[in-house]
Structure 1
Amino acid sequence: MAQNAAAQQPAAIAAAATPIADKAQDLAHETTVDAGQALTSNQGLKIADNQNTLRAGPRGPALLEDQLFREKMTAFDHERIPERVVHARGAAAHGVFETYASQAAITRAGFLGAGGKKTPVFVRFSTVAGSRGSADTARDVRGFAVKFYTDEGNYDLVGNNIPVFFIQDAIKFPDLIHAAKPEPDREIPQASTAHDTFWDFISLVPESTHMVMWIMSDRALPRSYAMMEGFGVHSFRLTNAQGTSRLVKFHWKPLKGVHGLAWDEAQKLAGKDPDFHRRDLADAIATGDFPEWELGVQVVEEADANRFGFDLLDSTKLLPEEIVPVRPIGKMTLNRNPDNYFAETEQVAFHTGNLVPGIDVTEDPLLQGRMFSYVDTQLTRLGGPNFHEIPINRALAPVHNMNRDGFHRQTIAKGRVNYEPSSIDVPPIREVPAANGGFVTAQVPVAGVKVRHRSETFADHYSQATLFWQSQTPPEQQHIVEALQFELGKLTVPAVRARMLSNLVNVDRELATRVAAVLGVAVPAASPRNGNKRYAPSPALSMIARANPKSVVGRKVAILATDGVDGDGLQAVKAMLVRAGVMVKVLAPHLGSLWSAGGTPVAVDELIVTTPSLVFDAVFVAAGADSVAALRASGDAIDYVREAFRHAKPLGALADGAGLLAAAGISTTGAKVPGVSVASQPAELSQGFIADMTMHRHWDRAVKSALAA
């Protein structure tokens, strides 16, 4: 028996091993997508068109029956728990929106119906690609989502700081984000698009070209949330009490102007202060420097929707302000920080379908997909269908419906009836006619054959990208070139780099040539349809060409000093800056107090080595022979002003404080260097240093060879 058992042992081992080997093969098959395979649904259905949502006619609305879209988007929405798949890193604040005058002529939305009407709001800003642990200053789109707690229910205006988007159809959104996120084999790079998969996707999707121009510009590096525009991105509909429908584009215009960071500055901030934007927002509100934006609208009659040469339903296009000016209709002020980050900022749930009477969606295929995706995402992220009962999401308007039970239900519904219609409850819960404030969808005709097809009116992918490039000032164009060189220079697949240049040459040959100069790739010929067109520049598309506000309110200035400082002069400078609305901090090599030449102690706010120039808008050097001599001997102090100079920030000094600028290689004699001023007495600051600060940046001196910072 023992011999028989021994003889059978190898066969038993082989039999036991077979299922393990087969399972390993099954797992390999399940987790690998091999090149050249047919694209299928989860059920193995071969997909003929993965580029377009099923809709009623080429410009018609998306159809609920599109199971392929729903399957794809559902899988994408539920990929990560509980962090947001996109917009994971955010900052938020409470505030109020006040309407300037009644907008009843264009919309029956109650919160816009009377001048002086105030509506509470909650606003969340965010990066898109990075995780919750990434840095604020990554080159990225910024989310700009506003929840209005209106008398008629919550209205969410969910937008970005860029007026266009990468794709035209929401069915491509999972592909876009998969490509932009860290590559799945090694989960790197974090919060960065400088890698092969992102640019591989972009190079194969020409409709993304316009958006690429924006994210390679300084718009993707905002100085602060308070200096960042916001856009609704899509075309929406406004309907008035008479039922007249008009198309509208929403804009948020910051009253502090639109300003950006330098790319080198943003990279350094990611290491020295990764919470820079959220800290700036919280500190500004805490000190009473409330961020403010005007809400503006571009309104287009339905009959005029096709007169612009592009399709208003195409989210890769903007409506130039020179064609339809933005009309301000109200102001938003953020005046209160959240009490708890998780309970408010993290749990707030926005949705493009949270509408009020008088505001409606359009057939924009990207917007149509968002209408499905947002609720689907919240079901997983916030634990079930009752996320609307979380305090930050709860409407101020009364809520009465037949929805019951489910995870995290908080409302205790009383009575026998949870259906409608009913004759048991008297009076019963019933629908509200439109005439009495009930929501009705805009009455627009819909007709068409069910197709997966993109409208021909969506076919121009380069004209507005060219307009954007040609509307930038020379420094802004140089920044775009350098950003593209950096991003494309990080690629390891040469074919992707070459394909991107083929796209860029269709935007502008000079742009492609300048980018190619460091990539070692020949510039291909442009498409005859797209190459080398010229447009009248649009100043609204440039942060520099647009007139800067003369106010310096809210700007931050570092005053450098140490023992032996001219205390009276420093205090006079500080007082003058504070009167102008500037936030001032005194930085020194040590904390505590400085002894001054006049014997008056000067309080130190921060250390020079712990609070970099990156977090300030300008740098000023106080007077005092001993103080200046000590700072001139400090490598940290010299590096401080050099770095601020290289980042094009205003620099100033009082009297012999100019010695530190000179030690850093910054000329203060002879012809005036843009943005550099020396005052012999504090009274001269208004015509020198403060006047320089109204420009925010002096890019005309910002060349790499200016200083080695």
Structure 2
Amino acid sequence: MKKNDANRNLEENAKQKDLAYNKSDGTDQFMTTDQGVKVNDDNNSLKAGDRGPSLLEDFILREKITHFDHERIPERIVHARGSAAHGYFQPNAEAKKYSKAGFLQDANSTTPVFVRFSTVAGFRGSTDMARDVRGFAVKFYTEEGNFDLVGNNIPIFFIQDAAKFPDLVHAVKPEPHHEMPQAASAHDTFWDFISLMPESMHMIMWAMSDRAIPRSYRMMEGFGVHTFRFINKKNESSFVKFHWKPKLGTHAVVWDEAVKISGNDPDFHRRDLWEAIESGSFPEWELGVQVIPEADEHKFDFDLLDPTKIVPEELVPVTIIGKMVLNRNPDNFFAETEQVAFHPGHIVPGIDFTNDPLLQGRLFSYTDTQLSRLGSPNFHEIPINRPIAPMHNNQRDGHMRQEINVGRVSYHPNSLGGGCPFQAKIAEGGFESYNERIDAKKVRERSESFADHFSQAKLFFESQTQVEQDHIINALRFELSKVEVPAIRERMLGLLSQVDTNLAKAVAKGLGMQVPRSPERPMNHGVGADDKGKQEPKPLVKYAQTSDALSMIKNKLNSDTIESRQVAFLCADGVDGNSVNTMKAALEKEGATVKIIGTNATAIKTAEGKELKVDHNLLTVSSVLFDAVFIPAGEASIDRLKEEEKIPEFLNDTYKHCKVIGADQEGILLLNETNFVLQLSEAKLEEQGIITSDTTKASLTADFISAMGEHRFWIREKPLT
């Protein structure tokens, strides 16, 4: 579907909504109470005289205030801050080979979905740009019932067993004596916990990487985290790992940028998702699976059931089985985004669980959470949670029951109701748990196959480019510098030395410390230490020492498209209208979005005397909100921009964050106000992603767009020594 067609459809939908709420006779436009009584005066409470006391009989006031006082529900313990959208999923011809799930059988069919993205640690009012894992939860409204794929943008987790989940969350949340810091892991309790839990080291590498500060929800991968099962029509079982691959590639911001975005626009990710969908630039992902035959369960040097491990794509490639498109924003944030209830236990025939100990604990936790947050076991009746499949069972009553059940029968078996509802046979679509044989003693232990905590942490770190490794080192320096207890820092350096010696040394240098000669023993006070208090890391696993799929820069998903990228045009009165329009048209043809940044909030005059609408006043924005900057020609415009104190900071930050800068004719003169341009020879400008009408080889527009396709020019960053 073309963008213009999509926009027309969205506008038509909006008109239909308006018509639905505003009848032609105007009868539904009157304000009423919750009981439908029309309200004559909503501005004044009922009083005994105009200066007298308010009267208790004012049922209009009492209803309004009571409802207001109860508008809030408990926020989620984790994943409290989120954003969501509606869309659809469409399988391809490959999908039905692996699973008998109905929504995967027909490549011409689509299944409605609702997707919620979120940060994990912060409260609802925190910033979108915290260094954090991002939730990636998808609700499929299938004809066989709802299937919830509840995952993250990182394929693994901090812990191996759900018994440690409350401890992890308590540690990362604000410290209880003063409730600080908000939405941040850079404090003592978190790193105290991590320093005593080596099983977290692989996840720490991901969390300290740029994966934890994505450019957009639309530009991050999603993962099911756990190993699930697929069962096909032949009743053959396979282990499966879920992957969401974004159409726009995987991209991130840099840390300095994230900090400044939080100050400029803490709703940066929310706004990005909303505006992309409203403009018709619908976010899209491919759904991929790594399928491992049941016979191959034990062929790897790691355990498939260990949630702190990935299956490297070099060992098991990702097979694409469909795509997901998000094409509609919610109508009401609270009713949909806030009240949606995901649960990893919501599965359909053809999909089943494994014995992953973290997954098993989540199957209990989510139901308990929904009962607490939404106040009733009837949370499935809230419109956003209702399946499209018909519901028939003997569950009754409870707080906020909406279903009106008729008849006298609410039990099974029965004869008074003709035996209804009937139990479905397997051939009729009835769910059957996979017939897995289990023969074991009840123990509180972990398998020895879960004991290697460092090999994949090392694999991840060594798979990164030098730039990405430097970002991980700087992130660890920042986080551990916030830790006040020296012993915690020392323990962490000991653990890092088990991942990579040079990594540990580089972090230690930034802390002004030395790497301990040997890590503290036992390294894990919870599990894994033998009777002598020693825990030796196992040898490196046999797969390749690096994996390009783990690096966002090397990853083939790092698409060169500039679709929906935001470009700031710095303009003032006297700007060359042709320079603006030529570049603007070329960028919009490629799907990018142009924002005119002016010296006022309304409009400016071009050199040709035409009015140019301003999208943002220079005073209200920063370069961190944009992906590239262009300075159009126009002598008067450049002279005026030179007077703006914010211009040098705007351009210097753009350069510092390795983004593309373009300048046409006189626009080049504005670059002389910066710290960087005089340090670069003319020959190096284009090499550094600075595209000007003096240095361009093809055309200014073509070269600027080509440079934007690189997204960042990391050559500007000086390697750590």
1:640 equivalent in alignment to 2:632? no
Q: Pick from 680, 684, 698 the counterpart of residue 671 of structure 1.
A: 684
| 1:562-608 alpha-carbon deviations (Å, 9 max, x no partner) | 11111111111111111111100110111332222222322211111
Identity %: 56
| 1:132-156 alpha-carbon deviations (Å, 9 max, x no partner) | 0100000000000000000000000
Q: Pick from 319, 329, 353 the counterpart of residue 327 of structure 1.
A: 319
Query: Unaligned 5+ residue runs, structure 2?
Result: 1-71, 520-535
What secondary structure, in the 3-state scheme, does the structure 2 residue paired with 1:523 have?
coil
Query: Residue 81 of structure 1: CA displacement?
Result: 6.3
Give 1:696's aligned residue: 711
Corresponding letter in the other structure for 1:671: K
Query: Residue 683 of structure 1: CA displacement?
Result: 7.7
* Greater mean alpha carbon deviation, residues 533-542 or residues 399-408: 533-542
What secondary structure, in the 3-state scheme, does the structure 2 residue paired with 1:323 have?
coil
> What aligned pairs does 1:202-213 form with structure 2 within 5 A after superposition?
202-213=194-205
Give 1:158's aligned residue: 150
Query: Residue 699 of structure 1: CA displacement?
Result: 1.5
Give 1:586's aligned residue: 596
Give 1:601's aligned residue: 611
Q: Residue 658 of structure 1 contacts residue 668 of structure 1 at CA under 8 Å; is this kept in 2?
A: no
The whole-number CA distance in structure 1 between the counterparts of 2:330 and 2:122 is 22
Q: Residue 661 of structure 1 contacts residue 668 of structure 1 at CA under 8 Å; is this kept in 2?
A: no
Give 2:341's aligned residue: 349
Q: Pick from 229, 240, 264 the counterpart of residue 221 of structure 2.
A: 229
Give 2:666's aligned residue: 656
Q: Pick from 435, 457, 472 the counterpart of residue 465 of structure 1.
A: 457
Q: Pick from 156, 162, 173 the counterpart of residue 181 of structure 1.
A: 173
The whole-number CA distance in structure 1 between the counterparts of 2:684 and 2:595 is 30
Q: Residue 453 of structure 2 contacts residue 537 of structure 2 at CA under 8 Å; is this kept in 1?
A: no
The whole-number CA distance in structure 2 between the counterparts of 1:104 and 1:189 is 47
Query: Residue 675 of structure 1: CA displacement?
Result: 1.4
Give 1:628's aligned residue: 638
Query: Residue 412 of structure 1: CA displacement?
Result: 0.5
What secondary structure, in the 3-state scheme, does the structure 1 residue paired with 2:291 have?
strand
| 1:304-337 alpha-carbon deviations (Å, 9 max, x no partner) | 0111100000000001111111111111011100
TM-score by length of 1: 0.86
Give 1:37's aligned residue: none
Q: Pick from 536, 540, 546 the counterpart of residue 545 of structure 2.
A: 536
Query: Residue 550 of structure 1: CA displacement?
Result: 2.5
Give 1:76's aligned residue: none
Q: Residue 589 of structure 1 contacts residue 607 of structure 1 at CA under 8 Å; is this kept in 2?
A: yes
TM-score by length of 2: 0.85
Give 2:9's aligned residue: none
| 1:26-54 alpha-carbon deviations (Å, 9 max, x no partner) | xxxxxxxxxxxxxxxxxxxxxxxxxxxxx
Corresponding letter in the other structure for 1:685: L
Q: 1:682 to 1:92 in 2, by over 3 A?
A: farther
Query: Residue 701 of structure 1: CA displacement?
Result: 0.6
Q: Pick from 120, 123, 147 the counterpart of residue 128 of structure 1.
A: 120
Give 2:629's aligned residue: 619
Query: Residue 242 of structure 1: CA displacement?
Result: 1.7
The whole-number CA distance in structure 2 between the counterparts of 1:523 and 1:682 is 50
Corresponding letter in the other structure for 1:628: I
1:449 equivalent in alignment to 2:462? no
| 1:471-528 alpha-carbon deviations (Å, 9 max, x no partner) | 0001110100000000001111111000001100000000000000021221123677
Q: Residue 170 of structure 1 contacts residue 370 of structure 1 at CA under 8 Å; is this kept in 2?
A: yes
Give 1:575's aligned residue: 585
The whole-number CA distance in structure 1 between the counterparts of 2:538 and 2:507 is 18
The whole-number CA distance in structure 2 between the counterparts of 1:586 and 1:447 is 67
What secondary structure, in the 3-state scheme, does the structure 2 residue paired with 1:671 have?
helix
Q: Pick from 290, 294, 301 the counterpart of residue 282 of structure 2.
A: 290
Give 2:307's aligned residue: 315
| 1:84-134 alpha-carbon deviations (Å, 9 max, x no partner) | 100000100000111122522211100001112200000000000000010
Query: Residue 532 of structure 1: CA displacement?
Result: 9.4
Q: Residue 507 of structure 1 contacts residue 531 of structure 1 at CA under 8 Å; is this kept in 2?
A: no
Query: Residue 670 of structure 1: CA displacement?
Result: 2.8
Query: Residue 166 of structure 1: CA displacement?
Result: 0.2
1:563 equivalent in alignment to 2:580? no
Query: Residue 529 of structure 1: CA displacement?
Result: 3.9
The whole-number CA distance in structure 2 between the counterparts of 1:287 and 1:81 is 32
> What aligned pairs does 1:425-444 form with structure 2 within 5 A after superposition?
425-426=417-418, 428-444=420-436
Query: Residue 423 of structure 1: CA displacement?
Result: 1.1
The whole-number CA distance in structure 1 between the counterparts of 2:186 and 2:341 is 30
Corresponding letter in the other structure for 2:716: R
Q: 1:532 to 1:351 in 2, by over 3 A?
A: closer
Corresponding letter in the other structure for 2:644: S
The whole-number CA distance in structure 1 between the counterparts of 2:447 and 2:623 is 50
What secondary structure, in the 3-state scheme, does the structure 1 residue paired with 2:367 have?
helix
Q: Pick from 494, 506, 512 the counterpart of residue 514 of structure 1.
A: 506
Q: 1:214 to 1:107 in 2, by over 3 A?
A: same
The whole-number CA distance in structure 2 between the counterparts of 1:344 and 1:192 is 27
Give 1:57's aligned residue: none
Corresponding letter in the other structure for 2:715: D
* Superposition RMSD in Å: 1.8
Query: Residue 664 of structure 1: CA displacement?
Result: 0.9
1:684 equivalent in alignment to 2:699? yes
Q: Residue 226 of structure 1 contacts residue 291 of structure 1 at CA under 8 Å; is this kept in 2?
A: yes
| 1:190-246 alpha-carbon deviations (Å, 9 max, x no partner) | 100110000000000100000000000000000000001100000000001221110
Corresponding letter in the other structure for 2:170: H
* Greater mean alpha carbon deviation, residues 497-506 or residues 593-602: 593-602
Corresponding letter in the other structure for 1:600: K
Query: Residue 544 of structure 1: CA displacement?
Result: 0.6
Query: Residue 686 of structure 1: CA displacement?
Result: 4.4
Give 2:66's aligned residue: none
Corresponding letter in the other structure for 1:452: R
The whole-number CA distance in structure 2 between the counterparts of 1:466 and 1:659 is 47
Give 1:45's aligned residue: none
> What aligned pairs does 1:37-186 form with structure 2 within 5 A after superposition?
82-186=74-178
The whole-number CA distance in structure 2 between the counterparts of 1:100 and 1:445 is 32
Q: Residue 509 of structure 1 contacts residue 531 of structure 1 at CA under 8 Å; is this kept in 2?
A: no
